[in-house]
Amino acid sequence: MTQDKPTLANKTPSDSSGGQASVSPAPPSYEEATAGISESCYNDEEMLTEFTWDDRNIRRVFIRKVYTILLIQLLVTLAIVSLFTFCDPVKDYIQANPGWYWGSYGVFFVTYLTLSCCSGPRRQFPWNLILLAIFTLSLSYMTGMLSSFYNTKSVIMCLGITAAVCLLVTILSFQTKMDVTSYQGVLLIFCMVMFISGLVLAVVLPFQYVPWLDTTYAVLGAILFTMFLAFDTQLLMGNKRYTMSPEDYIFATLSIYLDIIYIFSFFLQIFGTRWE
């Protein structure tokens, strides 16, 4: 008796043990296939919003780190400004040798561009701290030399005004619901106005055409960098429209420190009294 050959349709796949029939699994959907992708595939912005700022502990550590470094920077600057203001031999030396000022300005400019534009040195320890220390010393020297041309009482008064204003702006930036980070266009226009005004001021002031123009420019500069201080503080907070990555604590410190130094410099031009 012959047995018919089984057709392909009647065949049922079996496992190696000769047991039960199995059904081939259906191919995974796109969502299932991409669900296991590691976190490293996300870009910085997604890491920031989905994995970083959801953890409040990370944000608190980030803010504490920034303000600790900032406090050290301000103490170093305060020490250098006090030395250049109260010590007459040092004051006479730096005023008689302006080449040190221009040298420190070149160091300040190079380190600022490096930390602002290059993410590698800015995030690589310990080079980021070394560059930040060089940046702080150079800017502190420039600020100290500027202060040496003003009366001691004027310097102390401007230091107090700067501390009060910066503390008030910082508290308001943490407490207010207004999102300053969304006003980037306003700050950009303000910066362009200040840049053009500075060029005009450089031409007009040597000829003494408008005596009050220097004070007006200083007032506008103080307002601009007070706004920048609020902007950078809210970027640091991380709960507004735009935030700063926790890896960029050096850039956050640099930005806030630079805002405070510029505010002090403009207040010195407004309220300071030069030595006769």
**Cα angle value 248/250/253 (rounded, 5°):** 110
pLDDT value of position 26 = 57
- Rounded CA separation 247/252 (Å): 10
| Spatial CA neighbour of 24 closest among 35, 14, 34 | 14
- Rounded CA separation 86/129 (Å): 29
Find residue 150's DSSP bridge partners.
274
Q: For residues 60 and 249, is the Cβ–Cβ distance under 8 A?
A: no
- Rounded CA separation 75/79 (Å): 6
Q: What are phi and psi of 194, to 5 degrees?
A: -65, -35
**pTM for the whole thing?**
0.74
H/E run at residue 111 = helix 99-117
pLDDT value of position 276 = 54
Positive/negative CA dihedral, 119, 113, 245, 179:
negative
pLDDT value of position 206 = 64
Sequential pLDDT tens for the chain (276 residues)? 444 444 444 444 444 444 444 455 555 554 454 454 444 333 444 334 443 444 667 778 888 888 999 999 999 999 999 999 888 888 888 888 888 889 999 999 999 888 888 777 778 888 888 999 999 999 999 999 988 888 888 889 999 999 999 999 888 888 877 777 777 778 888 888 888 877 877 777 666 666 677 778 888 889 889 988 988 888 887 766 667 777 778 888 999 999 999 999 999 888 877 765
pLDDT value of position 125 = 83
